[in-house]
Structure 1
Amino acid sequence: MPTRALILLYDGFDLIDAGGPYEVLLTAARLLQRDGLAPEFEVVLATPGGGDVTAFGGMTLTRLVDSDTVDACDVLIVPGTIDVACAVGDGVLIETVERLSRGAAMTASVCTGAFLLARAGLLDDAPATTHWEDLSDLASCGEVGSVVADVRWVDNGGVLTSGGLTSGIHLALHLVARVSGTDLAVRTARQLDMDWSPDPAR
């Protein structure tokens, strides 16, 4: 069975936070198919309730899966947003993060998505990172064990966080490495013309 990655979308999310991991996982799957192997990843785009969502800047995504109908996923990815206060104040969204994370082997955030993980109680006593501009706010929110600067991602086992925007691409390549090995992650990065290192500090 392929690894099922669910990217949870909501109004105001940053497009590259979702689109970067989406492209990484689909590219990794395509490379495996090119080798005559089964694709390792299935990517699902979902929203609470299944409605359309509008990304920051106005792009609207349609025909999305209703996350309420998803019992479990292997990997949950939560993108960030410019309007953090609105997102963390959305009780339905936070409840969805909580529920899906309980059944996921790995829950990951991109950029300010870390604030949603924190509000969902996933970062208590855990190290985490986010966009460099928001590190102090994350540290002062009282819902994070410690904040790590100058890294592209932090891997705490079942919960992972990444820095701003394109760091989500680096995090997704790390997820590929964890699931299918570093060789496939390196090949995927090359296919994307991406300079990637398995070292999160590079």
Structure 2
Amino acid sequence: MTMRAVILLFEGFDLIDAGGPYEVLLTASRLLERDGLAPAYQVVLASVGGDDAVAYGGMTLTGLADASALEDSDILVVPGTIDVACALADAGLREAIERLGGGAALTASVCTGAFLLARAGLLADAPATTHWEDLADLAACDEVGSVVAGVRWVDAGRVLTSGGLTSGIHLALHLVARTHSVELALRTARQLDLDWSPDPAR
């Protein structure tokens, strides 16, 4: 079965936070198609209103799906941002995360995207992580159960969070391992020329 994975973009998102998981999921599907099998993931890039999304530094992504028009997804990925306060103040973004995250089988954040999941009420009573520079601020959030340091990702069941930037690639490989197989995750890591371990502390 092909799973729909929605990566939700917004003004000022970190490009590698979205691009890393995007490449992992597409590569995993491509390897399966090479084997004559159905792709594991349909990856959808979306934004509020389908608006263009300008990443930190100015790169603009266009042709995005309208998040409000999407039905429930299997996986929701929320990237991080340098300007967390601005993203937290975006009511439309928060509503999109609440709706899509509430209906997704799995919701994952990369880096400071954990703050957006917390604001959407998805981290209540759950362990979480984020970029090492922001762990103390995340721990101060009332909406977070507990904060875990020294790991690339935290799997709390329906909600997963990762450390900064490239840790999102490691988290995405864990998603492949969890939703398909460790074998496919390892093949995908090899294809990406990445040293990956199923152990989040490595």
Q: TM-score w.r.t. structure 1 length? A: 0.99
**For residues 166 and 23 of structure 2, what CA distance do their matches in structure 1 show?**
12
**For residues 96 and 69 of structure 1, what CA distance do their matches in structure 2 show?**
10
Structure 2 counterpart of 1:135: 135
1:25-64 equivalences under 5 Å are 25-64=25-64
Instruction: Report the secondary structure of 1:49's partner residue.
Output: helix
**For residues 71 and 64 of structure 1, what CA distance do their matches in structure 2 show?**
15
Structure 1 counterpart of 2:65: 65
Structure 2 counterpart of 1:14: 14
Q: 1:186 Cα shift?
A: 0.1
Q: 1:102 Cα shift?
A: 1.4
**1:17-76 CA distances to partner (integer Å, 9 max, x unpaired)?**
000000000000000000010111100000010010100000000010001100110000
1:20 partner amino acid: G
Structure 1 counterpart of 2:108: 108
Structure 1 portions without partners, runs of 5+: none
Structure 1 counterpart of 2:99: 99
Q: 1:89 Cα shift?
A: 1.1
**For residues 124 and 141 of structure 2, what CA distance do their matches in structure 1 show?**
11
1:175 partner amino acid: L
- Runs of 4+ aligned residues of structure 1 deviating over 4 Å after TM superposition are none
Q: TM-score w.r.t. structure 2 length? A: 0.99
Instruction: Report the secondary structure of 2:184's partner residue.
Output: helix
Structure 1 counterpart of 2:80: 80
Instruction: Report the secondary structure of 1:161's partner residue.
Output: strand
- Computed over aligned residues only, the root mean square deviation of the Cα atoms, in angstroms, reads 0.5
**For residues 90 and 51 of structure 1, what CA distance do their matches in structure 2 show?**
14
**For residues 108 and 74 of structure 1, what CA distance do their matches in structure 2 show?**
11
**For residues 88 and 142 of structure 1, what CA distance do their matches in structure 2 show?**
15
Instruction: Report the secondary structure of 1:17's partner residue.
Output: helix
Instruction: Report the secondary structure of 2:50's partner residue.
Output: coil
**For residues 92 and 141 of structure 2, what CA distance do their matches in structure 1 show?**
20
Percentage of pairs with the same residue: 75
Structure 1 counterpart of 2:185: 185
**For residues 45 and 116 of structure 1, what CA distance do their matches in structure 2 show?**
17
Structure 2 counterpart of 1:169: 169
1:133 partner amino acid: E
**For residues 186 and 10 of structure 1, what CA distance do their matches in structure 2 show?**
30
**For residues 124 and 33 of structure 2, what CA distance do their matches in structure 1 show?**
39
**For residues 132 and 75 of structure 1, what CA distance do their matches in structure 2 show?**
25
**For residues 106 and 11 of structure 2, what CA distance do their matches in structure 1 show?**
23
Structure 2 counterpart of 1:155: 155
Q: 1:6 Cα shift?
A: 0.1
